[in-house]
Chains A and B, each alone.
Chain A
Amino acid sequence: MRNLLKRCYQCGRCSGVCQLSKVQKYTPSKIIQLILEGFEDKVIESGVLWDCLTCNQCLKDCPEEINFADIVRMARWKMRHIANQNPDELIAHKGMYTTISEIMSRPYIQPERSLDWVSKGCKISDKGTTLYYVGCLPYFNYEFENSDSIAKSTLKILCQIENEPIVVFKDEICCGHDIYWGQGKLKTFIKLGKKNMEMFEKAGISKIVTACAECYRTFKVDYPGIFDDFNDKFEVKHIIEFIYDNWKQNKIKFKNPSESSERIPFTYHDPCRLSRFLPKDNNITEKTREIFKEFKRLGYDFKEMEHNKKNSLCCGVSSWMNCNEKSKALRYKRMLEAKAAGDIMLTSCPKCKIHLSCLQDDFEDIASIEIMDFSEFLVDHIEIINPDKDTEITE
């Protein structure tokens, strides 16, 4: 950990770009220098690192590519286990979601999840090559209205395009993203990872599709970091990539089911996990734009928010940590940008959708913006080219 930090030459740029620093005093460069000069204890003791959004804005702008969010993640482990700090009160929703994943990591736990959200006509299976990894969405449904519509849309898209049934696990467990980043619980994370891998292998999976930015980053980067052969065994696709690839291979095209001639302005909120948390050569943000460009033909006008792609503003909360008034200020900033750009704001991270929608209850001036997930928006706009199979999916 320290050797990575030692590349720092104290340019201070991170502290200036830090999104959190816009609402509270927070200076990564100073924290790094304190650690380098041997005051790590003080940093740990102060508990300041619990505040980090792990949005990776600092890494995006660091000339030495120092991964501060990683440092925070590791430090959080120390803060909990060595300094005995208990951040539970900082965890939103009384820690319910992190507790669920904690429970799932136990070897003897096999959850039985509701599959009510699966549309009729969607052929699913518990064995096969292509897995739709659903993530927490069905659990969210208890607190956040209609969360499973993202899952519903995604599965519909997959079933339309793929000939074979899509694998959906009834006993799917958590990817571990939140306890890994929010709590620094590496052991639990590894347990979840192992369990997941076993399940994937057992079911004969070779391709994993997800609609969640966090799951995607976890499978794409964090699992391979721990399990060397993960990427050899499984191809991981975000639903954006999945749609993009099929579009490029001329298997699908885009249509507009609406008859209205009115042009609809829309914008897109890049989740940090898809914009700043992926390897340099991953161009999912550009692929997203390419699809939106095509939507111009269909009567939509895509407009960027002021901060977009790798500079995208944070949705305010990460891994269920620190939902407070500062977080609301960050979210409000984001919503104002969205309002200036379009009537609809798409995103591709269920949590971004939840956090930003939540604020709409508090502030009337931003309530009019329709916040949708990428899948929810796309599901009605896809047309299969040369359909060999009859795929009429009904409710």
Chain B
Amino acid sequence: MEGSVVVIGGGIAGIQTSLDLTELGFKVYLVERNPSIGGRMAQLDKTFPTNDCSLCILAPKMVEVFRNPNIELMTYHEVKKVEGKPGDFTVTVLKKPRYIDETKCKGCGDCAAKCPKIEVPNVFDMNLGKRKSIYIPFPQAVPPIYVIDPEICLKLTKGVCGVCEKVCQAEAIDYEQKPQEIKLTVGAIVAATGFDMPAEELTSRWGYQYENVVSALEYERILCASGPFDGRVLRPSDQEEPEKIAFIQCAGSRDLHENIPYCSSVCCMYTAKEAIITKEHSENSNCYVFRHDIRAYGKNFYEFTQRAQKDYGVQYFQTKVSTVVEDHETKDLMIHYEDLKTGKFNDFHANLVVLATPLVPSKGTEELAQVLGVEVDKYHFFKEKSFFNKCLSSKDGMFLCGFCQGPKDIPETVADASGVASQVANLLNSVKYTEIKEKVFEVPEMEVKITDEPRIGVLVCHCGINIGKYVDVSGVVEYVEKLPYVVHCEANLYSCSPDSQARIKEVIQEKNLNRFIVASCTPRTHEALFQETCQEAGLNKYLFEMVNIRDQCSWVHMGDNEGATAKAKDLIRMAVAKARLLKPLTEASLDITPTALIIGGGVTGMTAALNIANQGFKAYKVEKEDKLGGNLNNLNVLYPIQEDAAILLNVIQDKVKKHKNIEIFLKSQIKDVKGFIGNYNVSIAMNKKSQGLKIGTIIVATGAQELKPNGDFQYNKKNKNIITQLELEQKLKEKDKSWLDNIKRVTTILCVDARQKEGITYCSNVCCGVSIKNVSILKELRPDLEIVVLYRDIQMAKKEFEEYYRERRKDAIFLRYDLDQIPTISKKGGKSEKYDIKVFDTNLQDEIEFETDLIILSTPMIPADNLDELAKMLKVPLDKNGFFLEAHVKLRPLDFATDGIFLAGCAQWPKNIQDSISQANGAAGRASRFLSAKTIKTSGLIAEVNPERCIGCGKCESVCPYNAIEIKEASMEFEDVSLVLKKSFINSALCKGCGTCAATCPNGAISVKHYDFDQIFAMIETYLLD
């Protein structure tokens, strides 16, 4: 068995898998065929639904990979051969020649600047921009090493030129490099090869052959500040600002004609995002979206598409367009379409068209499948071993992560990644930590005394044009250089790039600096990176200070360059004033109790418990009901595999019950949670008894429940045949099906009380699938049954579901209705249960009235009851819909902001069983990182009490949101007397350094380290006085 793993693909899937694997104790070889990691996410401008800058949240992770001593980064490498068995694979990797010595290149770019002007389309910019024959794909590329394109390099093709060799001071150019085969021995292999968006393969009807018709990924590059047009919204033909931009959805997806029978799943959302960003970038552009079904099924997704319309004036048309034709003179586009809401045919005149083209497995997926010996499915994605564990390939020891298995968005991919890491840990449990190196700082920490004269270094970042376009960076540098105690100041293109880290270390050591400041973007994403760099240079990380001149200056004062520059100067001057007073701080080390508590006994909770238990840790399961299984107990048959729910339930329940590392508490509830990560004391109440447990980490898997539509849609006790979807499931589970005997027509109504203007505004993700499943089950039971489905949009994203829906459309009549005209139900006279339904059918533009014997209401999932209480005990937040709120919707979907507590399954958001299981494994992986590590370090940034000033009033204790403060009695000895006084004590492991206590303390006895009063006053003073 080998304690190392090959991860193939360096996008967000591969990056997250690699990072989690190292934290679980494995060495990683990250193989990427391109010259840089980052993948598709690096190409995106912003990410939905938070509109975070994509590269800004990804770059720190890329750099983390680069700096991680346990990840061997193998970019520009390809996997060629695989032999062996799980635990012992031999992987042959081909190292392609960069013609650059990787150990010497500093990424300065002198070579590219002097490279003769033969330019080719830049693949990273989707061929919209140009690059030289020696290049890095993008400025933040990791590793920041150049590569020569042998196809166009004059030296390599014709033997002339050789300029780069002459100008490279690092002597890194090596035209003689040859391909090289490398053999790796590893325990497991993870494929994370992602997707392509090959618009050129579409048939002509989408108009991609016209200049001003671009694919969505091309449009991401157009929007991006570092893209070909510097983030200005311009169209390719004449680089003019388009007034009307049309976004065409399903441009090839859900289309047998284009050979893409599945839904690409993410287009509805990124289109809404692109439209919103367009409106933000360009006042003159108006956005129009041509959509069919809206499939916005993730957390806050549907509301996001509504916001695009309400707040940004993006106009949506319900249609699948018929034709796109170019006006040859103006290069404008004519879109012919039927507005399905009005039934009218219109021609729409657009200046630019953006196509939501299909996403397909990346080129080479099938070849790689052959090399690995794993199967692909009929859509050419890697095939999962079973529907319910999408991360296992058809071959043991080989795992799948992200889009290469099927369409999914970034949070799902990240959850997959953590899940894969944990399942690898299950497989290679016996060899954890056998190949891992501890991060050691080679340079010993230098001693900095308060009395030492401050020697401050400052780095001011251009962030490409992000800051540089609005802030006069060289002017700022000139100004900062003259500030007191500033020994060194310089400007820099991208402070977060690895070469900048090398530069920071160099400057600290050369100039003997004892404080360092970076003025760039937000500390939220980048502070840890720079702190570590300081540590590598021997500087205590708390002697680092960060100034955000991007968000605070260039962004909020976009267009006011003078004001933005002046503010940047002010902010840096204040930081310099504070930096003088910074003190080195220490971090304590805490032991972790190797146990996990899993709250919730459904399929999510059981999966998580099994995963953790298999890694050798104790797992305690708490379930409020008297049996395990949660909602799975209520289900009849699971789609799309059409298997009895009891089979899955029994298999997993059996494993859980038999596992020696799992202890189950039924009919139990959490009564109290004390302590902090690694050291929780949890008390559980069961049958009037209570039990205390020592817990290391906690996973919240409390699930969700079906909404009962009280009174709406005539759902009440009098109408026996108006039931909810879950009630139908239960009826279908019964052996006796005689209740169906007198039923001739069944009507299913979708989106009951969901996707409303008020109340429940979200799409609950799974109801469409469940309804369509039950349509086919009813039809199988009673082939003569007539079934009508009233829908607004059919949500069947993900690779399997579109076909599932296609196959079942024959089983029912589908009628579309609109939120503004919801169906009305009235009970017929007489004793029998018969109802009249009146609905305005938007497809036919006509009112339809019909009789039905059974009405099934598909209502949304809502959070489980009494989550408020649990949330309070755990000190974690709920979102506006009452589900648990994760730390970051995009990149930390399974974490809470509070370390040590994780979430998975429907507690986070309504989702199907496949995704719940993926999240369960993911959360188990996130949790077991701590359990595997055995110890953690606490932050130095915490509040401290000056006991001499503390009067023991207790105000701090009452306001602390983390329960980190306790008022204890302390005995004070004086010359003559000894007094017992109340004093405030702060638990350094629980304190998050929020400062609420410091602000509340009436006597100024509490201060937050790194943000103490002296430091803050120094900042205010210098702002007001200098």
Residues of A within 8 A of B (CB): 2-3, 6-17, 21, 27, 29-30, 33-34, 36-38, 60-65, 310-311
Contact = CB atoms under 8 A, between A and B. Distances in A.
A30 B319 CA distance: 13
A16 B841 contact: no
Given A16-B321, A17-B323, 7 more contacts: A9-B254, A9-B809, A10-B816, A12-B319, A37-B841, A37-B848, A61-B205
Contacts of A64: 256, 806
Interface string B518-531: 00000000000000
Nearest to A6: B810
Nearest to A38: B813
A65 B257 contact: yes
B530 to A, nearest CB: 51
Interface in B334-348: 336-338, 340, 343, 345
B358 to A, nearest CB: 11
Nearest to B845: A30
Interface in B184-214: 203-205
Contacts of B250: 11, 63
Contacts of A61: 205, 257, 322
B813 A36 contact: yes
Contact of B256 (A6, A60, A65): A65
23 contacts: A6-B810, A7-B809, A9-B809, A10-B816, A11-B320, A12-B338, A13-B320, A16-B319, A16-B336, A16-B338, A17-B336, A29-B338, A29-B843, A30-B843, A30-B844, A36-B814, A37-B813, A37-B844, A61-B322, A63-B255, A63-B320, A65-B257, A311-B204
B794 A15 contact: no
- Identify the 4 closest CB pairs spanning chains A and B, nearest first: A16-B322, A11-B320, A63-B255, A6-B810
A13 B321 contact: yes
Contacts of B319: 11-12, 16
A63 B256 contact: yes
Contacts of A6: 809-810
A16 B343 CA distance: 11
A11 B317 CA distance: 12
Interface of B: 203-205, 250, 254-258, 292, 319-323, 336-338, 340, 343, 345, 794, 806, 809-810, 813-816, 841, 843-844, 848
Contacts of B254: 9, 63
B623 to A, nearest CB: 41
A2 B806 CA distance: 14
A63 B257 contact: yes
A97 B292 CA distance: 44
Contacts of A8: 809
Contact of B844 (A21, A33, A63): A33
A15 B322 contact: yes
**Majority SS of interface residues in chain A?**
helix
Of the candidates A13, A15, A17, the one having the most CB atoms from chain B within 10 angstroms of its own CB is: A13
A7 B808 CA distance: 9
Contacts of A10: 340, 814, 816, 843
Given A10-B340, A12-B338, A38-B813, A33 B843 contact: yes
Contact of B320 (A12, A33, A38): A12
A30 B343 CA distance: 9
Given A7-B809, A11-B320, A21 B345 contact: yes
A17 B338 CA distance: 10
Contacts of B255: 63
Contacts of A62: 257
B205 A311 contact: yes
B340 A12 contact: yes
Contacts of A37: 813, 815, 841, 844, 848
A11 B813 contact: no
A10 B809 CA distance: 12
A60 B581 CA distance: 73
Given A30-B843, A63-B254, A65-B256, A13 B322 contact: yes
A368 B666 CA distance: 90
A276 B385 CA distance: 40
A65 B816 CA distance: 21
Nearest to B319: A12
B843 A9 contact: no
Contacts of B257: 60-63, 65
A249 to B, nearest CB: 31
A14 B843 CA distance: 14
A62 B254 CA distance: 10
B292, B320, B343: residue with the most chain A Cβ atoms closer than 10 Å: B320
A14 B320 CA distance: 9
Nearest to B807: A7
Contacts of A65: 256-257
Contacts of B256: 63-65
Contacts of A63: 250, 254-258, 320
A61 B814 CA distance: 22
Contacts of B810: 2-3, 6-7
A65 B806 CA distance: 12
Nearest to A32: B843
Nearest to A62: B257
Nearest to A10: B843
Nearest to A65: B256
A13 B794 CA distance: 18
Most chain B C-beta atoms within 10 Å of own C-beta, residue among A2, A33, A62: A33
A173 B226 CA distance: 70
Contacts of A13: 320-322, 338
A16 B323 contact: yes
A21 to B, nearest CB: 7
B813 A9 contact: no
A310 B810 CA distance: 29
A311 B322 CA distance: 12
Contacts of B337: 12, 16
A11 B841 contact: no
Which of B319, B322, B340 gathers most chain A CB within 10 Å? Answer: B322
Contacts of A14: 322
Given A3-B810, A16-B336, A65-B256, A9 B322 contact: no
A7 B337 CA distance: 21
Contacts of A36: 813-814
B264 to A, nearest CB: 13
A311 B336 CA distance: 14
Contact of A16 (B345, B794, B814, B815): B345
B816 A7 contact: no
Contact of B794 (A9, A17, A30, A38): A9
A205 to B, nearest CB: 35
Nearest to B337: A16
B951 to A, nearest CB: 72
Contacts of B323: 16-17
A16 B205 CA distance: 12
A379 B256 CA distance: 40
Nearest to B788: A37
B771 to A, nearest CB: 15
Contacts of B336: 16-17
A248 B737 CA distance: 67
Contacts of A34: 844
A3 B205 CA distance: 27
Contacts of B813: 36-38
Nearest to A58: B322
Given A9-B794, A37-B815, A61-B205, A15 B843 contact: no
A356 B210 CA distance: 30
B147 to A, nearest CB: 38
Contacts of B320: 11-13, 63
Contacts of A30: 343, 843-844
B937 to A, nearest CB: 55
A59 to B, nearest CB: 9
A6 B809 CA distance: 6
Nearest to A64: B256
Contacts of A15: 322, 338, 345
A11 B252 CA distance: 13
Nearest to B809: A6
